[in-house]
């Protein structure tokens, strides 16, 4: 027997989770299925809308000023500016006080682990005291056992980029850890639970030892930035405790994968899914689908009747009235390629690309790469379109990085597109699924 729901979302990242939450707002039965662990844990945790235009202009002060000028086919052009605003408000309601930035349309400039600044619309509260627009002098602290964050180099890059404050960086030993391969969650666990550690001065707690280590490096700085490892379950408490002991404001610098801010965002969204009654099934790839005509137009696109998932070798059918595809782009294998073609692997939806594979890229590594925009073209209802610009299926929408027509890395728009299109696709699927 097929498992039945009103809306089935395929994909567990930001776009998929947002789509499922938006659909659930319509009081329908929603299920989310995903094959792999969410990619959120590899993300920075920042919610960017648009940092640079497709022509490379930026960093943008107000991303909304640029949305109306985006080219036809860009995901934001498909959903419209108002839907982007609604999606942000939707996220703000879910995130609560875990995120800042809702007070303004302007981008914030958040320092990253490489010493660059990223224009972003919403940012974790843990990064708020470190914004590059703040002119307070800053001490960045790195750890010998965490080579991904070179604090002196990051500080030098910030000053070279014209940051309106003096920045210094120091590298210290993290008390209680000696292994270079310790996971970021191990640092967080030590601070979350304020575990006992042994230092040259004797036995103390992790927070005391870290504060004492850093205190000796402080000069006139009034804020201190650490790599994003300051706790997980009790991150706000850890940050406040260290700030009180050091008598400065403490902030986190977003890191590369694996990312604690990304993991915190994942927990936030999946807690919200549970609260909304969304049924979540992970570790199950969708391997096939079946269609049926809805009888309204024999020449029109089919409806997806059911998808087949592989659950530990058993093929299990899942049937829904509406489907949302949010499986990611080339990196996440939501879009795949062979030597002669680029394609979407579940429903074989059309992915526009040059017939000559040598036209998929340019020799300049930093050039405008055609493959960066590979993805599904969609109509304004976010339904994937075939080569003749007709919907592939009546009841399938797509959201997030599986969409084409934009370069999320160059534009700094990845999470914003996932949020806006996930919200729009889920909301529309939920309304139709409840009819």
* E strand or H helix at 289: strand 286-292
Distance between CA 212 and CA 197 in Å, rounded?
A: 13
Distance CA 326, CA 399 (A): 5
What CA–CA distance (Å, rounded) separates 8 from 320? 6
Task: Provide the CATH topology of domain 3-98+263-433.
Answer: FAD/NAD(P)-binding domain (3.50.50)
Q: Is the entire prediction scored with pTM above 0.85?
A: yes
Which 3 state secondary structure label does DSSP give 156?
Answer: helix
| C-alpha angle 64-328-377 in degrees, rounded to nearest 5 | 65
Instruction: Answer yes or no: are the C-beta atoms of 263 and 41 closer than 8 Å.
Output: yes
Residue 164, number of CB atoms within 10 A of its CB: 9
As a residue count, the chain comes to 435
Domain ranges of the chain: 3-98+263-433, 113-253
The C-alpha atoms of residue 197 and residue 39 are separated, in whole angstroms, by 33
- Which H or E run includes 10? strand 3-10
Per-residue pLDDT of the chain in tens (435 residues, 90 and over written 9): 667 999 999 999 999 999 999 999 999 999 999 997 777 888 889 999 999 999 899 899 999 999 999 999 999 999 999 999 999 999 999 999 999 999 999 999 999 988 889 999 999 999 999 999 999 999 999 999 988 899 999 999 998 988 899 999 999 999 888 777 678 889 999 999 999 988 777 889 999 999 999 999 999 999 999 999 999 999 999 999 999 999 999 999 998 888 899 999 999 999 999 999 999 999 899 999 999 864 555 566 899 999 999 988 899 999 999 999 999 987 788 998 888 889 899 999 999 887 777 677 767 656 677 667 789 999 999 999 999 999 999 999 999 999 999 998 899 999 999 999 999 999 999 999 866
Q: Which CATH architecture has domain 113-253?
A: 3-Layer(aba) Sandwich (3.40)
Quick one: angle between helices 235-246 and 184-192, nearest 10? 70
CA end-to-end distance (rounded Å), the chain = 23
> Residue with structure tokens 């981008």?
107
Query: Which alpha helices (H) appear in 25-80, and where do they start and end?
Result: 63-67, 75-79
> 3-state class of 160 per DSSP?
helix
């Amino acid at each position: 027997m097929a498992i039945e729901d009103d809306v089935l979302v395929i994909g567990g990242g930001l776009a998929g989770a947002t789509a499922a939450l938006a659909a659930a707002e319509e009081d329908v039965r929603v299920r989310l299925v995903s094959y792999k662990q969410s990619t959120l844990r590899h993300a920075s945790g920042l919610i960017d809308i648009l940092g640079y235009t497709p022509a490379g202009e930026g960093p943008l002060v107000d991303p909304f000023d640029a949305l109306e000028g985006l080219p036809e086919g860009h995901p934001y052009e498909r959903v419209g500016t108002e839907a982007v605003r609604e999606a942000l408000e939707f996220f703000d309601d879910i995130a609560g006080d875990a995120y800042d930035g809702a007070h303004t349309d302007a981008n914030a400039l958040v320092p990253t682990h490489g010493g660059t600044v990223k224009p972003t619309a919403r940012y974790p509260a843990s990064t708020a005291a470190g914004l590059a627009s703040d002119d307070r002098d800053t001490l960045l602290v790195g750890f010998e056992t965490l080579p991904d964050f070179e604090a002196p180099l990051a500080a030098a890059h910030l000053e070279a980029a014209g940051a309106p404050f003096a920045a210094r960086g120091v590298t210290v030993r993290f008390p209680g850890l000696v292994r270079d391969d310790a996971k970021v969650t191990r640092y967080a666990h030590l601070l979350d639970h304020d575990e006992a550690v042994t230092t040259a001065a004797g036995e103390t707690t992790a927070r005391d030892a870290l504060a004492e280590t850093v205190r000796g490096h402080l000069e006139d700085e009034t804020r201190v930035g650490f790599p994003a490892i300051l706790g997980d379950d009790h991150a706000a408490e850890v940050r406040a405790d260290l700030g009180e002991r050091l008598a400065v404001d403490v902030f986190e610098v977003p890191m590369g994968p694996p990312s604690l801010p990304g993991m915190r965002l994942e927990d936030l969204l999946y807690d919200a899914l549970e609260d909304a009654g969304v049924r979540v099934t992970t570790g199950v790839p969708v391997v096939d689908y079946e269609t049926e005509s809805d009888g309204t137009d024999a020449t029109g696109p089919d409806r997806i009747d059911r998808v087949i998932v592989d659950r530990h070798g058993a093929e299990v059918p899942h049937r829904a009235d509406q489907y949302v595809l949010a499986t990611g782009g080339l990196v996440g294998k939501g879009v795949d390629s062979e030597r002669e073609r680029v394609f979407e692997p579940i429903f074989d939806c059309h992915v526009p690309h040059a017939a000559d594979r040598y036209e998929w890229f340019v020799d300049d590594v930093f050039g405008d790469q055609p493959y960066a925009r590979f993805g599904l073209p969609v109509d304004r209802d976010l339904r994937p379109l075939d080569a003749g610009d007709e919907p592939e299926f009546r009841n399938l929408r797509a959201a997030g990085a599986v969409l084409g027509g934009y370069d999320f890395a160059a534009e700094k728009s990845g999470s914003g597109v996932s949020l806006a299109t996930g919200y729009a696709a889920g909301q529309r699927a939920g309304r139709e699924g409840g009819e």
